[in-house]
Amino acid sequence: MSVLVVAEHDNTNLKPATLNAVTAAAKLGDVAVLVAGSNCHGVAEAAAKIGGVAKVLLADDPAYEHRLAENLAALVAKLAPGFTHVLATATSAGKNVMPRVAALLDVAQISDISAVEGADTFVRPIYAGNALATVQSSDPIKVITVRATGFDPAPAEGGSAAIETVDPAGDSGLSQFVGQALSKSERPELTSARVIISGGRGMQSGENFHLLEKVADKLGAAVGASRAAVDAGFVPNDYQVGQTGKIVAPELYIAVGISGAIQHLAGMKDSKVIVAINKDEDAPILQVADYSLVADLFQAVPELAAELEK
Amino acid sequence: MKVLVAVKRVIDANVKVRVKADGTGVETTNVKMSMNPFDEIGIEEAIRLKEAGKATEVIALSAGVQQCQETLRTALAMGADRGILIQTDAELQPLAVAKLFKAVVEKEQPQLVILGKQAIDDDCNQTGQMLSTLLGWAQGTFASKLEPNGDSLTVTREVDGGLETVALKMPAVITTDLRLNEPRYASLPNIMKAKKKPIETLTPDELGVDVSPRLKTLKVVEPPPRKSGVRVSSVAELVDKLRNEAKVI
Ligand SMILES: Cc1cc2nc3c(=O)[nH]c(=O)nc-3n(C[C@H](O)[C@H](O)[C@H](O)COP(=O)(O)OP(=O)(O)OC[C@H]3O[C@@H](n4cnc5c(N)ncnc54)[C@H](O)[C@@H]3O)c2cc1C
Ligand SMILES: Nc1ncnc2c1ncn2[C@@H]1O[C@H](COP(=O)(O)O)[C@@H](O)[C@H]1O
């Protein structure tokens, strides 16, 4: 069996979630990685070094510069018949393109798998992670998105796969990239951070997130948020952790002024250690926390930053 | 411009979902059902386009059991003009729904189709992308802003790194994200008026679509519970535990 992993990248860097998808793929067969982009040879070289990767396919063409779903799906679907499985990360990029691949192949997509049970059988969370479904596919090619927190990352170094060039599949002319406003941060990315500190509606304003940043500085942490904090405009949309935001599972997750709605828990309850700081002793977040501190965050968080100095 | 909006009937977002003891699925009897929240956002956006003079008609579309009528009535009460129900008791998976919707699009010829980014029951996040593909149209997923201008549509999308803007050729398929708008509540007079708005009923057979599921659910289980934690009484104790007990900092 051979498996195609669609790499996620920005033409310069390979996104770390790709490594988790490679681990899922390696459970299914020989792994080939597709790097489709523009002037992205460096990414292909990085992909070739991933441990366990047998082959890298490189499609270098302006049509893939911004990985528009219409263009990229056509390429992946054209390559897919050589494989038993096609995998991508369950990130906004993977979710955008893979259902198109599935539709072109007339197969189901198996979204957001958290475990591989066999060549055709996978586990995936449903209902905001309130239930885990084991599903079996009857399709000839399995199109899958991978939840990164379900799989360890494959080693980024150690492989020496050959890089093969593949022909591009053309520009659909259906959509055009206009621009982007990416959040700039010196901090680690939410989905690969070892420590995360997230704020909720209890933070009261965007400025108050500086309190969390002081703690984040001490711990090398990423900063996240609940939906309520994003909706209120405290922080940008890409901070949102949860069922409909990012799924994270760091070593340490600190929830500050977050009540712990099921949709938030869906995004973080697989963290190794959970800390909750909340002034309401009945807040549901305290039920999933390993350590909970019932306190006013405006007192506790500055104290935490000071204590970490010691 | 005619706008078609998909509305799915799902277990209400505030219900604590329970897995059935026999492992076949989740408990749905006597459970509150509602319109998928992302679809409320879709209806709201379509109505706003109509209020702004950019859309001429808003059609709500649902597929599933007879009770999806209620979901369509909610859409009509919010301000949609008419409803279409593709009625079936069969289990519907995203690819099948996309095929059903394609058949309706071919009949109705809308210029814009709006779906939610994700149904909060199956959490699939597929149907809009699949429909767009089957139609050979452009897609604007996870939309937080729409600006129609003639035969092109500018869409701001919520992506992992922030925001991205794309220009789509019309007709197009959009999927909504949380920040696109805040859906209105239906007023009582509008709820009354909605009772008189038409809902057309179709079947998968009439549309010539095979809806057989491609995925078989072998079992559904509860996730393993987390072991219960401890209360700490001070920040100093918290830091001590994190350093010396959990050893994560
Ligand atoms: C379709 C849908 C999708 C959703 N997706 C997501 C998602 O992906 N992620 C997500 O997070 N939510 C999501 N939600 C929203 C979710 O249901 C909750 O509304 C949201 O998580 C609440 O955010 P919060 O905990 O910050 O706010 P609240 O529930 O208002 O909680 C605020 C908390 O702060 C505490 N607090 C206030 N002041 C202080 C203080 N001074 N000191 C200490 N504690 C204080 C309060 O005690 C309270 O517990 C979704 C909802 C829907 C319907
Ligand atoms: N049975 C259905 N009836 C109406 N709309 C649906 C149905 N299934 C999916 N959809 C639409 O597709 C979106 C995404 O669903 P999914 O791909 O299942 O996560 C939903 O928000 C709805 O807009």
Tell me how many residue pairs between chain A and chain B have CB atoms under 8 A apart: 255
From the list B98, B123, B215, the residue facing A137 with the nearest CB is B215
Residue in B32, B124, B178 to alter for ligand 1 test, most ligand atoms within 8 A of Cβ: B178
Mean pLDDT of chain B: 97
**Token pair belonging to A34:** 């597709």
C-beta separation of A82 from A115 below 8 A = no
pLDDT given for residue B117 in this prediction = 98
Residue nearest to atom 3 of ligand 1 (CA): A244
Q: How far is CA B223 from its chain centroid?
A: 24
CA of A140 to the centre of ligand 2 (A): 24
| pLDDT of B239 above 90 | yes
Ligand 1 center to A234 CA (angstroms):
13
What is the reported pLDDT for A294?
98
Percent of chain A with pLDDT over 70: 100
**Single-letter code of the amino acid located at A216:** A
Q: Is the pLDDT of residue B132 over 90?
A: yes
Say how far apart CA A266 and CA B106 lie, in whole Å.
Answer: 38
Selecting from A251, A274, A307 the residue whose C-beta is nearest the C-beta of B239 gives: A307
Provide the terminal-to-terminal Cα distance of chain A, rounded to the nearest Å: 54
* pTM of the predicted structure, to 2 decimals: 0.98
CA dist A84 → A74, A88, A138, A141, A271 (Å): 17, 14, 12, 5, 32
Return all residues near B92 (Cβ < 8 A) that are at least 6 apart. Answer: B63, B64, B100, B211
Start-to-end CA span in chain B (Å): 57
- Domain architecture of chain A: domains with CATH: 2-165 (3.40.50.620), 190-309 (3.40.50.1220)
Confidence of residue B174 (pLDDT cuts 50, 70, 90): very high
pLDDT band at A174 (very low <50, low <70, confident <90, very high): very high
Determine the Cα–Cα distance for residues B173 and A69; give it in Å rounded to an integer. 12
Region at A275 (left for phi over 0; alpha for psi -120 to 50; beta for the rest):
beta
Write out pLDDT tens, residues A198-255: 999 999 999 999 999 999 999 999 999 999 999 999 999 999 999 999 999 999 999 9
State the pLDDT confidence band at A1, using cuts at 50, 70 and 90: confident
Over residues B35-51, mean pLDDT = 98
pLDDT of A281 > 90? The answer is yes
Q: Is the pLDDT of residue B150 over 90?
A: no
What average pLDDT does range B89-111 have in this prediction?
98
**B215 near A CB under 8 A:** yes
Around ligand 1, the residues with Cβ closer than 6 Å are A 200-202, 226-229, 240-245, 257-259, 261, 263-264, 267, 278-280, 283, 296-298; B 13, 37, 120
Query: Which of B:35-54 have CB within 8 Å of A?
Result: 38
Residue B113: name the closest of B43, B10, B180, B54 by CA.
B43
Mean pLDDT of chain A, nearest integer: 97
With b for 16 or more beta-carbon neighbours within 10 A and e for fewer, the A58-80 pattern comes to bbbbebbbbbbbbbbbbbbbbbb
ipTM of predicted complex: 0.98
Other C-beta atoms within 10 Å of A107: how many? 21
* Closest ligand 1 atom to A285 CA: 49
**Which residues in B lie closer than 8 A to residue A108 (C-beta atoms)?**
93-95, 213-215
What's the CA gap between A38 and A271, in Å, rounded? 36
**The pLDDT of residue B34 is above 90:** yes
Domains, in order of start, for chain B = 2-244 (3.40.50.620)
User: pLDDT digits over A121-138, tens only?
Assistant: 999 999 999 999 999 999
Helix axes A92-105, B127-135, angle to 10 degrees: 50
Classify residue B162 as exposed, middle or buried by CB count within 10 Å of its CB (0-12, 13-18, 19+): middle
pLDDT at A81 over 90: yes
Count of CB atoms within 10 A of residue A242's CB?
Answer: 25
Verify whether the Cβ–Cβ distance B220 to A104 is below 8 Å.
no
pLDDT band at A185; cut points 50, 70, 90: confident
Q: Ligand 2: which atom is nearest the Cα of residue B127?
A: 17
- Ligand 1 centroid to Cα of residue A296, in Å, is 16
Question: Which residue of chain A is at minimal alpha-carbon distance from B222?
Answer: A131
Q: What is the mean pLDDT of residues A160-186?
A: 96
- Least CA distance to B220: which residue of chain A? A133
Residue B113 has pLDDT above 90, yes or no: yes
* Beta carbons of A123 and A133 less than 8 angstroms apart: yes
- Identify residue A65 by its one-letter amino acid code: E
Where helices occur in B6-56 by DSSP H, the ranges are 37-51
Mean per-residue pLDDT for B224-235?
94
Quick check: bond before B171 cis, omega within 30? yes
Tell me what the mean pLDDT of segment B34-52 comes to.
Answer: 98
Counting residues of chain B whose pLDDT is more than 70, the rounded percentage is 100
Atom number of ligand 2 nearest to Cα B123: 19
